[in-house]
Amino acid sequence: MTDLPTRPPPDEAAERQPRTRASAQRRIDQLADEIARHDALYYLRDQPEIPDAEYDRLRRELEALEAEWPELARADSPTRRVGVRPGGASFAPVEHRVPMLSLENAMDEAEFRAFDERIRRLLGVEPPVEYVGELKLDGAAVELVYEDGDFTIGSTRGDGRVGEDVTANLRPVNGIPARLRGGSVPARASIRGEVVLPRRAFQRLNRVREERGDEPFVNPRNAAAGSLRQRDDVDLERLRSLEFRAYGVAEGLPRSVATQTQALETLRAWGFALSDEIALCPGPDAALAFHQRALATRDALPFEVDGTVFKVDRLAWQDEIGSLPRAPRWAIAWKFPPQQESTVVEAIEVQVGRTGALTPVAKLRPVFVGGVTVSNATLHNQDEVERKDVRVGDTVVVQRAGDVIPQIVQVVASRRPHGTRRWQMPAHCPVCRAAVVRLEGEAVTRCPNLDCPAQIENNVRHFASRGALDIEGLGAKRVHLLAEQGLVKRVSDVFRLDVATLAELDRMGEKSAANLVAQIERAKRTTFARFLLALGIRHVGEGVAELLAGHYAGDLDALMAATAEEIDATPGIGPTIAESVAKFFADERNRSEIAALRALGVTWPKGERRRRGEGPLAGKTFVLTGTLPHLAREEAKRRIEDAGGKVTGSVSKKTSYVVAGADPGSKLAKATELGVEVLDEDGLLALLPS
Ligand code: IVH
């Protein structure tokens, strides 16, 4: 993980300069207009343009300027209001009898501690104050009114005083009872909470929208808000995939209720779903622990959560502390580090893969997001670039969540400089200059030249990689050098290298040349599955290679002679893969390359029938997290699998072991939470056959 500092965005840089009154006024106006524009995009169109982190920075800059120049603050300043007043006549207005406020943010521990100190100062108490820790669900805030126990009006937050009547759209939402449960219900109850869309449902919804040619939603929150504001042709399925989680009672709380904890219990008793994690924290240290736990489990939650919320538990104290126009002073939202940031596309390069596929890759101005510095993001293919219309010079929103590779979410249209041009896939391979082809109905553009150095290089890299023949010392740089020198033109050439030739290479020397040759020699004795994987057949990854190896029990000639239909009969193999395998072995060039490899001494045990799930670790499931001191992740995975174990990506109750190294992610926390046994590298090695 590189820890490059990020450039402050221009707005923040401007904030640091001393200002004259006139320039402060100009900047205040600019910011107020800019924030109002983003509010409209966010609340009225459900299509925000910039990441939350950047929006928060704009707000903070404005708050700081207004604090310094109070007389310059505009009466309509966005720092004094919540959201925006709903426009248009689509939904009837609903007045909130108790205003729906927003929350102040804390960005780090120091800001949270400052909040705690302010609370104690306001209350004049010395001992720690109890807080209820809740998750900050990232969805749409709504109010549900129940009259004599029946759900009668549901509305959006709007500007906090007036929202929109979306009762009909709220009725099918999960977690909203049509009637309050329990014997004594108040004449009128007003419930506050968040409507969220689970991540999975969000992905499904966007896939359908894209197929239909509709603009996809940029995040689950806007998809939830957009779903609630459907008017014509209301999609019932979409509403049914939404979930409501209650977090407050604005009217109708029984008199006996004295704390937020009890308020939440009342909500539960009335039949509402609450958020997954709630804890009473007896002081700021416990709150910190709650926040860290929530952060560690963030990616494992079904919904997007963008922070934690802490509320003073005692309701009488909440009243005593009071509220400001925009937000209560007795609560705070402690935001998680952002998973979306904006940055600039400095170039779009094209990479040529092993199969000749051309992939456009955006080269980004480095930006710290989701815990790492991101400087590349794949753009997948021509269609994807066209759909998002990403251009060199554009400011884009980059997302990196969990272990997922960075994605470009969208272009910030208003920041496009003049003179940019639509990006086009080049007509020629950037490496060998061959004319590229894109077959009808395929998304991928390819370089058709099998002798393209890029393809050769990638093939050889794949051939030598850990999951395949695992030739230590033959990494990307060496392969590049060998290909560049013309020493390796096809994979079999690897077995033709000798110490004398290698020793001549840049920075190689006699000793490393001898080491490499020894490694190459060692790699000749392999397994059938590894050999099949190493060939680089399209659609044949590790799993498929193992299925084929198991079925054909080491008999390459039988596999090479098989028709697509026969291969299709292998359990677990479908027609696309079978077709691809048969086509590969029918190609004369591949056949002669395989003959060469065998003649050069590549072998594997025949009759090898071992498949996944056989061996000393059969039936055991492992999850790997963090960096192990000696074993690379791929190596650890391979050795577990070679011993019959399974490696999966997420921790559940069924996980047998979590193997944790340095800088473990949320998986370690999850393991501790579920009581799954945690091993270090030595612990793992002890389980593996030597
Ligand atoms: S309490 C008066 N609790 O965050 C207190 N809000 O940025 C108002 N939110 O408008 C809110 N989870 O939409 C509260 N556990 C939680 C929340 C929560 C999410 C949202 C809510 C609010 C926004 C403020």
Q: CA 678 to CA 672: how far, in whole Å?
A: 8
Q: Which atom of ligand 1 is nearest to the CA of 328?
A: 2
Ligand 1 center from residue 192 Cα (angstroms)? 9
For residue 614, tell me if it sits in a domain.
Answer: no
Pocket test for ligand 1, best of 103, 105, 192, 321 (most atoms within 8 A of CB): 103
pLDDT in tens, 285-304: 999 999 999 999 998 899 99
Pocket test for ligand 1, best of 194, 251, 313 (most atoms within 8 A of CB): 194
Pocket test for ligand 1, best of 159, 222, 309 (most atoms within 8 A of CB): 309
What are 53's two structure tokens?
């982190």
Q: Give CB contacts under 8 A, 24+ apart, made by 413-417.
A: 413/49, 414/49, 416/391, 417/393
Decide if 133 contacts 291 (C-beta within 8 A): yes
Average pLDDT in the chain:
90
Q: What is the per-residue pLDDT for 12?
A: 47
Alpha helices, DSSP H only, in 538-677?
542-552, 556-561, 564-568, 575-586, 588-599, 633-642, 666-674
Ligand 1 center from residue 203 Cα (angstroms)? 24
For residue 127, tell me if it sits in a domain.
Answer: yes
Q: Look at residues 134, 147, 57, 44 and name the one whose alpha carbon lies nearest to residue 90.
A: 44
Examine the pLDDT at 179 and tell me if it is beyond 70: yes
Determine whether 136 is an active site residue: yes
Question: Same domain for 635 and 569?
Answer: no
Question: Same domain for 253 and 395?
Answer: no
3-state secondary structure of 384: helix
The residue ranking higher by pLDDT, 243 or 646, is 243
The residue ranking higher by pLDDT, 639 or 690, is 639
3-state secondary structure of 63: helix
Decide if 502 contacts 508 (C-beta within 8 A): yes
For residue 99, tell me if it sits in a domain.
Answer: yes
Question: Same domain for 537 and 562?
Answer: yes
Q: What is the per-residue pLDDT for 612?
A: 53
For residue 476, tell me if it sits in a domain.
Answer: yes
Radius of gyration of the chain (CA): 30
The residue ranking higher by pLDDT, 391 or 668, is 391
Question: Same domain for 180 and 283?
Answer: yes
Ligand 1 center from residue 147 Cα (angstroms)? 23
**Atom 3 of ligand 1 has which residue's CA nearest to it?**
247
CA 265 to chain centre: 33
- Maximum C-alpha span of the chain: 92
Q: What is the per-residue pLDDT for 240?
A: 94
Question: Same domain for 591 and 522?
Answer: yes
Q: Which atom of ligand 1 is nearest to the CA of 136?
A: 12
Name the pairing type of β-strands 305-312 and 140-147.
Answer: unpaired
Tell me the range of 166-175, 442-451, 499-508, 676-685 where mean pLDDT is highest. 166-175
CA 40 to chain centre: 26
Mapping DSSP onto H, E and C, the string for 623-667 reads EEECECCCCCHHHHHHHHHHCCCEEECCCCCCCCEEEECECCCHH
Q: Which atom of ligand 1 is nearest to the CA of 248?
A: 1
Residues with CB under 6 A from ligand 1: 101-103, 134, 136-137, 141, 194, 247-248, 309, 328, 331, 333
Examine the pLDDT at 4 and tell me if it is beyond 80: no
Pocket test for ligand 1, best of 134, 136, 159, 196 (most atoms within 8 A of CB): 136
The residue ranking higher by pLDDT, 182 or 197, is 197
Question: Same domain for 629 and 522?
Answer: no
Examine the pLDDT at 8 and tell me if it is beyond 70: no
Which CATH number belongs to the domain containing residue 678 in this structure?
A: 3.40.50.10190
CA 461 to chain centre: 28
Using a pLDDT cut of 90, give the percent of the chain over it. 69
What are 273's two structure tokens?
């779903």
Backbone angles phi, psi at 63, to 5 degrees: -60, -45
Sort 384 into a burial class: Cβ within 10 Å, 0-12 / 13-18 / 19+: middle
Question: Same domain for 140 and 237?
Answer: yes
* DSSP assignment letter at 663: S
For residue 143, tell me if it sits in a domain.
Answer: yes
Q: How many domains does the chain have?
A: 5
Q: Which atom of ligand 1 is nearest to the CA of 323?
A: 2
Look-up of token digits 């963030």: 298
**Atom 22 of ligand 1 has which residue's CA nearest to it?**
102
Residue 634's domain comprises: 621-687
Q: What is the per-residue pLDDT for 450?
A: 82
Examine the pLDDT at 176 and tell me if it is beyond 90: yes
Question: Same domain for 272 and 331?
Answer: yes
Examine the pLDDT at 609 and tell me if it is beyond 60: no
**Atom 13 of ligand 1 has which residue's CA nearest to it?**
141
**Atom 2 of ligand 1 has which residue's CA nearest to it?**
101
Question: Same domain for 211 and 279?
Answer: yes
Ligand 1 center from residue 103 Cα (angstroms)? 6
Examine the pLDDT at 175 and tell me if it is beyond 90: yes
Decide if 63 contacts 79 (C-beta within 8 A): yes
Give the pLDDT band (50/70/90) at residue 194.
Answer: very high
Q: Look at residues 306, 291, 264, 500 and name the one whose alpha carbon lies nearest to residue 401.
A: 306
Four-residue CA torsion sign, 282, 288, 291, 293: negative
Q: What is the per-residue pLDDT for 212?
A: 84
3-state secondary structure of 260: helix
Ligand 1 center from residue 168 Cα (angstroms)? 23
* 120-129, 592-601, 669-678: the lowest-pLDDT one: 669-678
Instruction: Return the ∠ at Cα 4 (arms to 2 and 7), rounded to 5°.
Output: 150
Q: Which atom of ligand 1 is nearest to the CA of 157?
A: 10
Ligand 1 center from residue 533 Cα (angstroms)? 51
Examine the pLDDT at 519 and tell me if it is beyond 50: yes
Ligand 1 center from residue 332 Cα (angstroms)? 9
Q: Look at residues 685, 690, 686 and name the one whose alpha carbon lies nearest to residue 636.
A: 685
Ligand 1 center from residue 100 Cα (angstroms)? 9
| DSSP-assigned beta bridge partners for residue 156 | 142
Look-up of token digits 């029946």: 150
| DSSP-assigned beta bridge partners for residue 164 | 93
Examine the pLDDT at 379 and tell me if it is beyond 70: yes
Q: CA 549 to CA 205: how far, in whole Å?
A: 38
Q: Look at residues 43, 276, 38 and name the one whose alpha carbon lies nearest to residue 141.
A: 43
Alpha helices, DSSP H only, in 247-371?
260-270, 284-297, 315-321
Which CATH number belongs to the domain containing residue 409 in this structure?
A: 2.40.50.140
Q: Look at residues 337, 245, 242 and name the one whose alpha carbon lies nearest to residue 299.
A: 337
Decide if 467 contacts 639 (C-beta within 8 A): no
The stretch 344-356 carries a mean pLDDT of 93
Which CATH number belongs to the domain containing residue 55 in this structure?
A: 1.10.287.610
* 144-158, 216-230, 308-322, 420-434: the lowest-pLDDT one: 216-230
CA 612 to chain centre: 29
Question: Same domain for 402 and 431?
Answer: no
Ligand 1 center from residue 99 Cα (angstroms)? 13
Give the pLDDT band (50/70/90) at residue 233.
Answer: confident
The stretch 468-497 carries a mean pLDDT of 92
pLDDT in tens, 402-448: 777 899 999 999 999 999 999 999 999 999 999 999 988 889 999 99
Last residue of a domain, one of 28, 58, 80: 80
DSSP structure string for 406-430: PEEEEE-GGGPPTT-------SB-T
With a CB cutoff of 8 Å and minimum separation 6, the contacts of 424 are none
* 103-117, 227-241, 259-273: the lowest-pLDDT one: 227-241
Ligand 1 center from residue 303 Cα (angstroms)? 15
The residue ranking higher by pLDDT, 198 or 670, is 198
Sort 355 into a burial class: Cβ within 10 Å, 0-12 / 13-18 / 19+: middle
Sort 227 into a burial class: Cβ within 10 Å, 0-12 / 13-18 / 19+: buried
For residue 615, tell me if it sits in a domain.
Answer: no
Q: Which atom of ligand 1 is nearest to the CA of 141?
A: 13
What are 189's two structure tokens?
């109850």
**Atom 17 of ligand 1 has which residue's CA nearest to it?**
136
Using a pLDDT cut of 70, give the percent of the chain over it. 96
For residue 88, tell me if it sits in a domain.
Answer: no
Pocket test for ligand 1, best of 247, 290, 332 (most atoms within 8 A of CB): 247
For residue 538, tell me if it sits in a domain.
Answer: yes
Q: CA 94 to CA 164: how far, in whole Å?
A: 6
pLDDT in tens, 555-603: 999 999 999 999 998 888 889 999 999 999 999 999 999 999 999 999 9
Which CATH number belongs to the domain containing residue 451 in this structure?
A: 1.10.150.20
Q: Which atom of ligand 1 is nearest to the CA of 327?
A: 2
Give the pLDDT band (50/70/90) at residue 608.
Answer: low
Examine the pLDDT at 13 and tell me if it is beyond 60: no
Q: What is the per-residue pLDDT for 666?
A: 84
How many secondary structure helices (H) and strands (E) does the chain include? 25, 21
Q: What is the per-residue pLDDT for 613?
A: 59
Four-residue CA torsion sign, 167, 168, 173, 175: positive
Examine the pLDDT at 258 and tell me if it is beyond 90: yes
Q: Which atom of ligand 1 is nearest to the CA of 275?
A: 15
Decide if 72 contacts 28 (C-beta within 8 A): yes
Q: What is the per-residue pLDDT for 576?
A: 92
Question: Same domain for 145 and 276?
Answer: yes
Question: Same domain for 602 and 638?
Answer: no
| DSSP-assigned beta bridge partners for residue 679 | 659
**Atom 6 of ligand 1 has which residue's CA nearest to it?**
136
Decide if 269 contacts 181 (C-beta within 8 A): yes
The catalytic position among 136, 311, 335, 670 is: 136
